[in-house]
Structure 1
């Protein structure tokens, strides 16, 4: 193991399931070859340290438009790719924003990368002891959440920001094997990045439907999601008719367009699809597709600095929104609202770590929130966050995904 600005080791961790974004053709045939960790407060630039680690393992992070050598090997197996995780805190450091409250899961690194080689056998994600989940304990009350919404509306009225995303945290004690519960989370309907990442004494599971950034076939893509309603006929009609939701959505699309446009090496940015309504579990959500061609060298470190933390979970302007978030949220965002996905030899695909939970050996942690504009209704924002958290809590308890607890 090497200590310093990031730690690297070669010790495999017991998996609970396939990592997020791993190629479907790989199945569960992965062996851990090398691991990188960086925690908030560690020295060094996390974006550069991560890129250096991955480049040293033969992955094409200096020019993401280049196809790598799929036959390069390390140790006993051919390198398949790497699972990547970048927390909201790490993204804030990369962007030069103000850090907020500390994470409630300090054992989980803020940057974590696992390089995988192909294995000749499938992992058996066996079920262990029975899982028991205690009552949820929220980091703030509905009244406190509503007050934070009002504070954002005041900041918007002062001209400090245009929009801010506020997020709440909840945790519950558990006993037994969390593996089956985490796999239920990762399998929720609409989980484009469904998967599980594990470390020493911890694990995170995501059911994220949202693309933070994808680089594939010479093009860079982001798919921001803003706007939520129950997955009913009335809910869909209400979402499509809401001027508030559409204004909030378009504001974030413009922010994401700007994030890509200021990245050297990209060509003209275009909006391929605007405000398309798609389903996640028991909710309708509005999604757009923004893309640009890669006209020059685009490296992973510069790309992460441009897009992290994601605009749809921060606000606009991004740095001003981060300052508001730091002042308002009593508990850190932990594994939520970051980036989580896969780097292969010929593509990068990172989801936004929304709809994501973490276990630390004693408690399970979950986060949910929403974007606040001048027209936001505090009670409606509190209800929306509860609706987003509902499928996660239901999955953890083994209930149908439409259940809300």
Structure 2
């Protein structure tokens, strides 16, 4: 595991790019215990980029173990083995890294490059506690966000939807999630603005994570995977309407949305079956309507009893990248995504959350923004099926990004 090399490179980046990303504010990683958030202090970190080589899932598990957070067997009872002062760790896995480790570490088509070039593809940050609580937020001084530049036009987006439908007609796939990207130059400190994303209504995984030359802000409502008490669960979201009484009625009555949703629920059942005790996978809740900002979204809960000896690396290989943001079958959908999306998914459509003794809680990084030294990056999209309307899919992606853009513009 190339922990030393990656850490040294991260430190070398500091003098060149840290001026654009001040670090006077403590990150609040999604899933971190609420009572600990103001007292967290970084103890160690490891970042992975493709040039480092190796299996990032295995490396992340090894790095956690080296710092007292054993993750090789998530069924092991929680004991007093964690070193004094270690609270837990933030874990970030990009969509590209998830695609690289899926199917037991087999590397798939990489697709377009990550537009935030300083952003790692995997990051693990181990935290302890400090006696003097640090500020989790500070004023956004001298903040300015310029106009967004889209990675594709509305027509190009709609044409990509039609290309997916053609692939469905050939029998290549059943469903593909298409994601567009936009970037906007900024001046000032982005961290306080990114932290505000976590206050958006329905942001179950609201929080931030940052490093030298990069930062991520998340307002995700979706659980990619959660492990606690010997059980594993996921909460896929698929199906969107405006958060009005009419929108709720339309969502519940839509045969298209329900079929699309159930397809992903089946995919997630298969994902969990790879790490679960035989016969233990169940759907606890199907097509429940939840609210995120001004949108209704359909969510289900799928759970299982975890198999003996399940480690974090195998868990990541089973659930990454998330089925609701890839499609079905997953590997065939990834090929379509690599061919059709003009810009890499970067921080979006991956995983971000918390690992602690006896607990893993990772959100799917939808409604997520990344900052590099001079630009913010935002992604949004939706699932495409045979009966999708291309113009409606373009409008849905815009509706998902609108609350995020408004929050960032407000500074």
Q: TM-score, normalised by structure 2?
A: 0.92
1:266–1:292 CA contact under 8 A, matched in 2: no
Cross-structure match for 1:403? none
Counterpart mapping for 1:2-151 below 5 A: 6-7=6-7, 14-15=24-25, 17-69=27-79, 72-73=82-83, 78-95=85-102, 96=106, 97-124=108-135, 125-127=137-139, 129-151=141-163
Asked whether 1:301 is paired with 2:308, we answer no
Tell me how far 1:14 sits from its aligned partner: 4.4
How far apart, in 2, do the equivalents of 1:279 and 1:70 lie?
A: 39
How far apart, in 2, do the equivalents of 1:99 and 1:23 lie?
A: 35
Judge which range, 289-298 or 301-310, deviates more: 289-298
Tell me how far 1:128 sits from its aligned partner: 5.0
For residues 306-363 of structure 1, give each alpha carbon's deviation from its aligned partner in whole angstroms, at most 9, with x where no partner exists.
1000000000000000000000000000000000000011210000000000111201
Paired residue total: 396
Residues 180 and 398 (structure 1 numbering): CA distance in 2 closer, same or farther, change over 3 Å?
Answer: same
How far apart, in 2, do the equivalents of 1:9 and 1:134 lie?
A: 31
1:51–1:61 CA contact under 8 A, matched in 2: yes
For residues 239-290 of structure 1, give each alpha carbon's deviation from its aligned partner in whole angstroms, at most 9, with x where no partner exists.
0011110000000000000011122656510000000000001100000000
Cross-structure match for 1:153? 165
How far apart, in 2, do the equivalents of 1:14 and 1:266 lie?
A: 48
1:87–1:339 CA contact under 8 A, matched in 2: yes
Residues 327 and 136 (structure 1 numbering): CA distance in 2 closer, same or farther, change over 3 Å?
Answer: same
Cross-structure match for 2:17? none
For residues 100-121 of structure 1, give each alpha carbon's deviation from its aligned partner in whole angstroms, at most 9, with x where no partner exists.
1000012111000100001111
How far apart, in 2, do the equivalents of 1:122 and 1:130 lie?
A: 26
Counterpart mapping for 1:256-275 below 5 A: 256-263=268-275, 268-275=280-287
How far apart, in 2, do the equivalents of 1:10 and 1:148 lie?
A: 37
Tell me how far 1:41 sits from its aligned partner: 3.4
Cross-structure match for 1:240? 252
Residues 9 and 39 (structure 1 numbering): CA distance in 2 closer, same or farther, change over 3 Å?
Answer: closer
How far apart, in 2, do the equivalents of 1:71 and 1:328 lie?
A: 47
SS in 2 for 1:171: strand
How far apart, in 2, do the equivalents of 1:360 and 1:9 lie?
A: 16
Cross-structure match for 2:18? none
Q: Which runs of 5+ in 2 are unaligned?
A: 15-22
How far apart, in 2, do the equivalents of 1:119 and 1:67 lie?
A: 27
For residues 200-223 of structure 1, give each alpha carbon's deviation from its aligned partner in whole angstroms, at most 9, with x where no partner exists.
021100000000000011100000
Tell me how far 1:3 sits from its aligned partner: 5.6
How far apart, in 1, do the equivalents of 2:196 and 2:36 lie?
A: 20
How far apart, in 1, do the equivalents of 2:365 and 2:34 lie?
A: 20
How far apart, in 2, do the equivalents of 1:266 and 1:222 lie?
A: 17
Q: TM-score, normalised by structure 1?
A: 0.94
SS in 2 for 1:303: helix
1:64–1:298 CA contact under 8 A, matched in 2: yes
Residues 80 and 316 (structure 1 numbering): CA distance in 2 closer, same or farther, change over 3 Å?
Answer: same
Judge which range, 282-291 or 9-18, deviates more: 9-18
RMSD: 2.0
1:212–1:350 CA contact under 8 A, matched in 2: yes
2:101–2:320 CA contact under 8 A, matched in 1: yes
Q: Which runs of 5+ in 1 are unaligned?
A: 400-405
For residues 13-59 of structure 1, give each alpha carbon's deviation from its aligned partner in whole angstroms, at most 9, with x where no partner exists.
54454111111111311111100110123210111111110111111
1:86–1:338 CA contact under 8 A, matched in 2: yes
For residues 186-208 of structure 1, give each alpha carbon's deviation from its aligned partner in whole angstroms, at most 9, with x where no partner exists.
21110001000010021100000
Cross-structure match for 1:323? 335
SS in 2 for 1:28: helix
